[in-house]
Structure 1
Amino acid sequence: MQPSVGERRSQSFDRVLSSMCTEPHPAARAAAEAFLASNPGDPATYDAVAELEAEAVDLLGELAGLAEPHGYVTSGGTEANVQAVHAARNLAESDDPNVVAPESAHFSFTKAAELLGVELRTVPTDGDHRADVDAVAAAVDADTALVVGVAGSTEYGRVDPIPALADLASDAGSRLHVDAAWGGFHLPFSGHDWGFDDAAVDSLTVDPHKVGRAVVPAGGLLARDARTLDALAVETPYLETPTQASLTGTRSGAGVAAAAAALEELWPDGYRAEYERAIDLTEWLAVELGGRGYPVVGPELPLVAVDLPDALFEAVRGEGWKLAGTGTGEARIVVMPHVDRGTLESFLDALDRLAGTVGV
């Protein structure tokens, strides 16, 4: 007989090395519970959570270098990226718009292109897994509605040359969108040029439910000006609110409240401390793995990609370690807030023990 939902326990994060989500901050948990039944999709009715969403957007704008941000708390990075493509398509002058993105772009852009009927032109990255500006330039034409840059790629944690992509997009009369869904909470402290104050970025994805430590779901879409959201708005005659720019109708008040609470609690000092902790731990792990003879892609943000033998990769997963791979087969280890030195030492011990059993 299966246990009831109430008898089941949530999954532990103890051996989760592949996920870009993490344990929520206690303040985020408490805020989420207080707003479980609120719907930010109708802010005129649910005005308390609407005020929290405005606070969250303002703080996300501060994080991303935008003094007067426009945007909303999405269900996650996929919705934010889809909406960026959606707005670009609606604002485009071309009848046959296209989107140009590096091959490192998240699969949500494939979803967006299929849903919205736009052509997605995927171009190669350079030898260090960043967008190749020359390749992007060769793919852009008069019908390009959006150029995509990635700031903290899912596979390698790489940051594209955002200012160069912005210049290219501007010359082409295109919009620029930056996907910083995971990287955005690290990047303010890393020295990279990535946000609104570094380049002519039109829209940007950044997710509080990742390193921001809000509960799931709590993504974020930010825009430089109001016309981005205006391009997404539809009339909602049966709600108290006359229009709605979000992709979903009913939205999670819990996610909105958690995002506001986490940002209020941790921005900027808490996130700075987490970045410093995580990048130090990442660099230590890269040295440890390299010293064991496993090829490592040098980390840029708190993510290590390492080429493990297939048999060892599967053996470690068989002991309950949650690992995922890149498109070319390296294991990805994401150093999230729940991943500490003890966790990684246990992981390395497992690698050492299992290497002999699989003949490595």
Structure 2
Amino acid sequence: MEKKIKSIDDLMSIADLDPRHHTGEIIGSMTTSIHPRVFDVIAKFIEKNQNDHVLFPSLSVIEEELISETKRILGLSEDISGVITSGGTESNILALYAFKKTFSSRTVISLESAHQSISKAAALLELNIVKVKTNDDGYYNPDELQGILARYPNSVLVLTMGTTEIGRVDPITPIIDSIRKYHIHVHIDGAMGGFTYPFTNPKEFGKYVELVNEGLASFSTDYHKFPGAPIPSSVLFLNSMLEDKLKWNSHYMPAGYQKGLLGTRPGYSAAGALATLLLKGRDGLAYSAIRSYNLALETMNTLQSNWNLSIPRPDVPLLCVGLGEEELVSRAWSFLWSYGIKTYFCSKPPGLRIVFMPHIKKKHIDRFINKLLEFFEQGSREYHER
């Protein structure tokens, strides 16, 4: 194979192969633009290991401030511990590991709409996983789930705050009594919704916060998704008893231990995440979340009124635009990608996923809608007339 990258200039120019956020090309990914000033922060901490905070004391201060500021923004108690992670997958694995080691919980109850990393974590940790069915709108049957909780006391229940494909927040109110009655340990995967749902539905979000503050649940969310911090950066909140299980002896290091799955953890991630929160502030995050969610609902209403498409109403800024047959979905995806409109897939209903990240503007969505109309007019009249 011919070598394509022969110089630093070649390496830099190959980035031009990728679509860009600010042009609105990327509308299906849970990534977004980084604030320009954050790049200066990244450069300052690029060679420092977050897990070696004795050698790099600045990172200890940054970690403490980042966790404290996040708890303030989300309304979490100061008594809750936080662990910096690389993303939702690491957070989910660590949460299930902590529950297993602390309470000997060997069964994970997971909705079928949960992120695939839950199944991955269960496999790695050799946990029994019980999948709970959801309907076409992504909701579980409360009676069915309550029955499962009764059969598996002392198990771990995973709830998602913003499912990957349709943006559903798994309701907690119908099962809260069963959670307490059967000593269920709850992990809330808020990778996508952790920085949007608090602002678009603060009353409901408060119910999850209450469970976390009582020490009955862990909660994770990603800085590198909606806030727009550099990849990878995330956080897992849990009580101190659970956090202790996530420390591993490392006698050769000055601190004597490390936290999390990674031995070397990029210091720029935490620094970039804190910089992002400082630049945007709680008000800025709230504004972006509400604006993006309203744009998602407006888009849903437009698509449904024009074509009667199947689109589950989301709880976070994300739409699954149902198109019907998988073959039609595949052709629509290829058509849109050929015009630089990078959507993703969703399967229930079969369709195209749009994520309304902060860089997405109405003009970008209008272009998507116009091209989708063009696709229908060119070759899908049979579907369009249904």
TM range, smaller chain:
over 0.9
Instruction: Provide the rounded CA distance (Å) in 1 between the counterparts of 2:291 and 2:217.
Output: 31
Cα deviation, residue 354, structure 1 = 2.2
Structure 2 partner of 1:128 = 137
Residue 93 of structure 2 corresponds to residue 91 of structure 1: no
Among residues 222, 230, 244, which one is paired with 1:215 in the alignment?
230
Any conservation in 1 of the 2:153–2:183 contact (CA below 8 Å)?
no
1:15-45 Cα distance to aligned partner (Å, 9 max, x none):
1111111111223322222110111112111
Identity of matched residues, %:
28
Any conservation in 1 of the 2:197–2:315 contact (CA below 8 Å)?
no
Give the 3 Å change call, closer, same or farther, for CA 143–237 of structure 1 in structure 2. farther
1:19-75 Cα distance to aligned partner (Å, 9 max, x none):
111111223322222110111112111210121111111122223321213112211
Structure 2 partner of 1:103 = 112
Structure 2 partner of 1:258 = 272
SS in 2 for 1:51: helix
Instruction: Provide the rounded CA distance (Å) in 2 between the counterparts of 1:238 and 1:332.
Output: 47
SS in 1 for 2:219: strand
Q: Relative to structure 2, which stretch is displaced further, 166-175 or 236-245?
A: 166-175
Instruction: Provide the rounded CA distance (Å) in 2 between the counterparts of 1:220 and 1:209.
Output: 10
SS in 2 for 1:326: strand
Structure 2 partner of 1:147 = 157
How many residues matched?
A: 357
Among residues 64, 73, 77, which one is paired with 2:74 in the alignment?
64
Any conservation in 1 of the 2:200–2:293 contact (CA below 8 Å)?
no
1:263-311 Cα distance to aligned partner (Å, 9 max, x none):
1222310011101211221122112211221222223321111112433
Specify which structure has the higher proportion of helix: 2
Runs of 5+ unmatched residues, structure 2: 382-386
SS in 2 for 1:295: coil
Q: Relative to structure 2, which stretch is displaced further, 156-165 or 231-240?
A: 156-165
Residue 334 of structure 2 corresponds to residue 314 of structure 1: yes
Structure 1 partner of 2:384 = none
Among residues 193, 196, 220, which one is paired with 2:204 in the alignment?
193
Give the 3 Å change call, closer, same or farther, for CA 142–347 of structure 1 in structure 2. closer
Structure 2 partner of 1:24 = 34
1:111-152 Cα distance to aligned partner (Å, 9 max, x none):
100111111111012453134333322223356431111111
Give the 3 Å change call, closer, same or farther, for CA 142–344 of structure 1 in structure 2. closer
Instruction: Provide the rounded CA distance (Å) in 2 between the counterparts of 1:318 and 1:168.
Output: 50
SS in 1 for 2:167: coil
Map of 1:258-337 to 2, 5 A cutoff?
Answer: 258-293=272-307, 294-308=309-323, 309-310=328-329, 311-328=331-348, 329-337=350-358
Runs of 5+ unmatched residues, structure 1: none
SS in 1 for 2:155: strand
Instruction: Provide the rounded CA distance (Å) in 1 between the counterparts of 2:164 and 2:276.
Output: 23
Q: Which amino acid aligns with 2:231?
A: V
Any conservation in 2 of the 1:124–1:131 contact (CA below 8 Å)?
yes
SS in 2 for 1:9: helix
Among residues 42, 46, 52, which one is paired with 1:36 in the alignment?
46
